[in-house]
Structure 1
């Protein structure tokens, strides 16, 4: 919650550093909330405030504040005489007033003021700095009277960056009398005020100006207006509208800006300044404003009488300022009517204004507590999620045993995956089965097929009961090609008979190429297995993140070794299948050959009909010995490769099962013990070796991160406890 004062060109100062007039319970609760919030690390529970500037040129820029700091911005002449910290009229700064500050405790329970310089803007390049830096401007000040001169020197340092900030710390510096290098700076002078009874953060705001002395500074007019709008537009901000009594309200720019930001006038509190110099004849109008008859505001109007410049320069005491103000209102001919009225007397003077502003701050801040509690709880949930995602801490003496346990659990889960103990969608077993289906279809599609003639598009293929698609078969041979081979290899056989070698030759000519399909299946299955096993290493070894890459690399190496061994076994299987056609499956062979022969004869007869050899078809073609022998050999090749392709698919499946999957599960422990023993290079068990212990140590950055999260969790939990009213 912020209270911002809006007025025409002039100096701005905090009204007071102390919240007053609320219950003890409220005071203790708000103080506890602030105490816990300020103990949080930077970045937690923050709100961003806009830039500010005064006539003297030092610009507090973008100032970051805790979300529960109460922000109060008021006219400069009010501050000096209502707060306990004296500052000069020319000072421009941000004031932190806290019961407990995050930087240093107040000394000996007294009010302590520290002047600091926050550099966040490159004045030469006119752009923000990548990193905001803080620097103390001298030691903490326990004497209130010393604050003003220190602020003046700090301000001078900000406006003269070329001379070095530290050059102005000494009050006797000859640089103080020299002209400034800059008329304006976005860097910030900060006063941190600490002590009992201090619980507000006070921020300087710019005065609204219409023109500048130098043409090159004209851009500052729009910049200042934009800065002020940035402050007053947020709906949670209370606008303290300061209008002077020397001209009508509607003619003052600040009133128009307040109306634009707060059209319903629900969050604007009015302050009429310079009550002691109201022009004759205007008192009745300002009295009507105070009473709400003119320009009514939901939060009301207040009137103050500013001390003169002489009193300010002489450092008049606060008590005397208040007494002089009370005497003025009580004795003024026109305004005493308000002072003697029980209701309207509460709208007069700095004391009553301070009470009203304090009440607004307390009420608004208290109203925000439920929202703050929800934000704290959300932050706490997110933080606890972050903590849960960190690897658990393990004592040094337990790390080796934990490592052996992790390896055992990993071995168990690897067995479950490769042996298909637990099957789910997307698991390795499902992917491996999909690859086997594709592989079998490719092998079946590679079986031999035949055409009656070269020009024929129709192929006679083995039946498609295993799932291959008729028409996928490649490299189909013709009847004439088969007959040609038989003629070439016939030596002394009788007509219609041919040597078995000729049958073997035709079968070999139709030998399908299975190697590319089976090796592709093996490679894809191995890659899928490696991909499925990798997350297991992260899951089981999350306590030892430095060891995870090493274990993953070794597991991938084992998969590659088993893949290579399986490749060799499949190569042997391919060699056996291509060596000599052989089967003892007589029934399936005979049945398959008869089916193929029937399909070939039908295709042969259809070919004869299409070639108009009707007479030959009726008397001689069907019985032609040469054609019949060739058809018989073709049917033999087709029947054999139906059996051989099924056999090859089945045996390939068994080889991959035995040499890739089962062997990997069986070899894992021995392989890991062997490879990790090489890494350990020690006589004792590898888990207890010095080399392995280095892998088991927690990363220093992780340890620091965990410590920060735990500290922040404790503070958020304490804050949540306070916000809950306990």
Structure 2
């Protein structure tokens, strides 16, 4: 039996039907079938949208009843919906109770479900879990008890919900409040399509029956509803308590500061202390705490009335009598009388909610389309779902990866490409090898005053090596100079049975061995740098191809296998480098005799010229000043003036058949220098360095490129197949294990698919009604 009726559940009243009888000719409040067809169509649509669950993603119009503890919220819901909720002293609502009303031609029915959004430990679930709570209810008198039991099930999350359908043991609940909620799906001929929710009462302080955690939880729960712009807030304020002490009003002001979507409801006006009634009238006249939709005042049955089984008709009649005969309510101007009584409140609420729905529907359609597109984009950004052919899928991934790896190794036209990134290291290697050149000085010891400072290497080297400074000169190095007297001393010390003026080739060889011994270190450094850079690029490529596949196992396995393969190639490359260096260290050898002879001639001329600057400065200055490209001098009458100086000497030599002589070669015509043997050794060694250094500067990078860079791409695919075990007897099982999608990606995909299903279902509902 409902608290509003002592009659049979199927009985009816001609004027004000009971909560147990919605089969009469007139519904209650929003259930009134006399609402316009357009309004009902919109309410039907919003209710169907709620049924799709799209309110998780889109802000749908909804009524939320809030207030402090025992503020009369449950009575308001009964007036609005026509159903009875549990009632008790203090806090009786300890979890949200959502009501989904749906008009139907079938007999009245109520389905109770439990909606879990957190687990028993309070952790948020990825997807809400719905549980049916008992069989459908066909008698309204059973609803209150079922809701009470459902709330006990919500507040005891570690126990099976079905146990509470028949268990009458009122034990202490495991939690005081819960964000999990009860959902009532009510349908019948006189039920309007509407959704609203009754929220737990805000707790004023610990002394009022809660603790700090409960106070914060309830406030957070209420906030999660009323912060939404399409939530119509029914703010209940009990007149038996000072207005300023009611926290629900302050919370409402925070989220609806202009009062555009709040309807204030004063309850329990019969409990106002005598003489204080006038203090509440400014609210009804909207002179205090102004709300766009005004304040209302209602009087609901007392607990004693309910125990006596007051009917709905009697309740409304007593409410009418109270406001008609009790001052100061009865003395209000007629324009304010419409803000008194429950019927006026629910009629106004119907209009407000309908207007809100009418305004929101076009926006809802836009938000739906935008959210659908965003969800589809999110799905597209996820990796492809696992294929039923795991072996084929992994094989395809490996082939595509190896193909992209070959492109990387061959070179891509990008500043961040592998070959572009390792080129500076190759240039550093060439400079390091170039800097091992012996720094011969054609002068005596370093303290000799005749030695020029600084000593620059010859200009012809800058034209070939490309390391000249802004002045076109090779920069001086920090190498230890080797002076001509040191070379001569070594040559003299090496003589055995040679004829006078002859020196063994071992002298040149000793200098050559000294600089070739320095080549191993920069060569191995280059190998390590290329290996590190290559590893970084390959690792990034592996991540790009495999990171979103499976649970990361394939990426990890491929990374290990490729790193092992690269390490093998690096060892092979180091061995080849060692062999190439050993070839140079075993002794000098070249078949490029012309190249060697040309360099020896140039160095001999350069060293002798440098000595002649000191020993024969006049000739050295004339050679430096000579410019063969200058035209022959003429007198004022255009006659050529006879040649003089270096030009005359070269012309004379050409006349006797020595046309290939250059100005710098003239120093060779001077009388023998006692240091000529040392100059010959220096020229030999320096010429051979130019041959050997350019050879090694090419061969080492070539070896690294072939054995390490390109070598990684050779035979890698078979190595991956073998390493992964794809060709073995367990290949299918291994591939299935590797193809498993990671829980995070799978969960994200499931969440997006469910969201897309909700959104598309809601979108179809809008299309179906022509919106």
Fold-level similarity (TM above 0.5)? yes
Unmatched segments (≥5 aa) in structure 1: 1-15, 47-65, 122-127, 611-621
2-structure distance, mates of 1:193, 1:594: 105
- Give the aligned partner of residue 689 of structure 2: 641
Match of 1:351 among 340, 343, 347: 343
What is the root-mean-square deviation of aligned Cα atoms in Å? 5.1
Shift of 1:140: 5.9
1-structure distance, mates of 2:340, 2:130: 41
2-structure distance, mates of 1:114, 1:185: 20
2-structure distance, mates of 1:478, 1:250: 101
Range with greater deviation from structure 2 (266-275 or 298-307)? 266-275
- Give the aligned partner of residue 471 of structure 1: 476
* Correspondence 1:680 to 2:733: no
Larger radius of gyration: 2
Task: Answer whether contact 2:365 2:763 (CA < 8 A) is retained.
Answer: yes
Mark the CA change 1:629 to 1:115 in structure 2 (over 3 Å): closer, same or farther: closer
- Give the aligned partner of residue 198 of structure 2: 203
Shift of 1:443: 0.9
DSSP-derived class of the 1:471 partner = coil
Task: Answer whether contact 2:368 2:759 (CA < 8 A) is retained.
Answer: yes
TM-score normalised by L of structure 1: 0.72
DSSP-derived class of the 1:72 partner = strand
Deviations 1:614-636 (A, max 9, x none): xxxxxxxx967442211221122
- Give the aligned partner of residue 415 of structure 1: 406
Unmatched segments (≥5 aa) in structure 2: 1-27, 468-473, 618-669
Shift of 1:195: 1.2
* Correspondence 1:363 to 2:365: no
- Give the aligned partner of residue 429 of structure 2: 439
1-structure distance, mates of 2:61, 2:173: 37
- Give the aligned partner of residue 625 of structure 2: none
- Give the aligned partner of residue 305 of structure 2: 311
Match of 1:578 among 571, 575, 585: 585
Shift of 1:647: 1.3
Shift of 1:447: 1.3
Match of 1:566 among 573, 585, 593: 573
DSSP-derived class of the 2:523 partner = helix
Mark the CA change 1:267 to 1:547 in structure 2 (over 3 Å): closer, same or farther: closer
1-structure distance, mates of 2:134, 2:541: 58
2-structure distance, mates of 1:204, 1:296: 24
Range with greater deviation from structure 2 (288-297 or 561-570)? 288-297
Task: Answer whether contact 2:385 2:741 (CA < 8 A) is retained.
Answer: no
1-structure distance, mates of 2:738, 2:158: 52
What are the within-5 Å matches in structure 2 for residues 536-615 of structure 1?
A: 536-537=541-542, 546-601=553-608, 603-604=610-611
2-structure distance, mates of 1:164, 1:547: 41
Shift of 1:516: 1.4
Shift of 1:427: 0.9
Deviations 1:324-381 (A, max 9, x none): 4345556668766779x5x655433212211222333343455455665565555544
Mark the CA change 1:440 to 1:245 in structure 2 (over 3 Å): closer, same or farther: closer
Range with greater deviation from structure 2 (468-477 or 431-440)? 468-477
What are the within-5 Å matches in structure 2 for residues 281-300 of structure 1?
A: 290=284, 292=286, 297-300=291-294
- Give the aligned partner of residue 194 of structure 1: 185
- Give the aligned partner of residue 71 of structure 1: 64
Task: Answer whether contact 1:537 1:552 (CA < 8 A) is retained.
Answer: yes
* Correspondence 1:392 to 2:391: no
Match of 1:502 among 492, 501, 507: 507
Shift of 1:45: 2.9
TM-score normalised by L of structure 2: 0.68
Match of 1:29 among 41, 45, 48: 45
Shift of 1:521: 1.7
2-structure distance, mates of 1:392, 1:118: 29
2-structure distance, mates of 1:438, 1:344: 92
Shift of 1:650: 1.9
2-structure distance, mates of 1:119, 1:555: 44
Deviations 1:277-325 (A, max 9, x none): 7889988887776455676542123232333443222232323322443
Task: Answer whether contact 1:496 1:626 (CA < 8 A) is retained.
Answer: no
What are the within-5 Å matches in structure 2 for residues 12-51 of structure 1?
A: 21=35, 23-37=39-53, 44-45=56-57
Task: Answer whether contact 1:384 1:713 (CA < 8 A) is retained.
Answer: yes
2-structure distance, mates of 1:419, 1:134: 54
Mark the CA change 1:473 to 1:378 in structure 2 (over 3 Å): closer, same or farther: farther
- Give the aligned partner of residue 448 of structure 1: 438
2-structure distance, mates of 1:119, 1:403: 38
Task: Answer whether contact 1:431 1:525 (CA < 8 A) is retained.
Answer: no
DSSP-derived class of the 2:265 partner = strand
DSSP-derived class of the 1:73 partner = strand
DSSP-derived class of the 1:111 partner = strand
Deviations 1:464-492 (A, max 9, x none): 44145633363432323211111112245
Mark the CA change 1:529 to 1:327 in structure 2 (over 3 Å): closer, same or farther: same
* Correspondence 1:427 to 2:417: yes
* Correspondence 1:320 to 2:314: yes
- Give the aligned partner of residue 98 of structure 1: 100
2-structure distance, mates of 1:258, 1:696: 53
DSSP-derived class of the 1:98 partner = strand
Task: Answer whether contact 2:29 2:79 (CA < 8 A) is retained.
Answer: no
Range with greater deviation from structure 2 (512-521 or 593-602)? 593-602
1-structure distance, mates of 2:685, 2:285: 114
Match of 1:659 among 681, 684, 707: 707
2-structure distance, mates of 1:254, 1:226: 9
Range with greater deviation from structure 2 (473-482 or 150-159)? 150-159
Range with greater deviation from structure 2 (627-636 or 545-554)? 545-554
DSSP-derived class of the 1:487 partner = helix
Mark the CA change 1:325 to 1:706 in structure 2 (over 3 Å): closer, same or farther: same
Shift of 1:27: 1.4
Shift of 1:556: 3.3
- Give the aligned partner of residue 719 of structure 1: 762
1-structure distance, mates of 2:537, 2:479: 36
1-structure distance, mates of 2:542, 2:220: 55
Task: Answer whether contact 2:553 2:738 (CA < 8 A) is retained.
Answer: yes
Shift of 1:444: 0.8
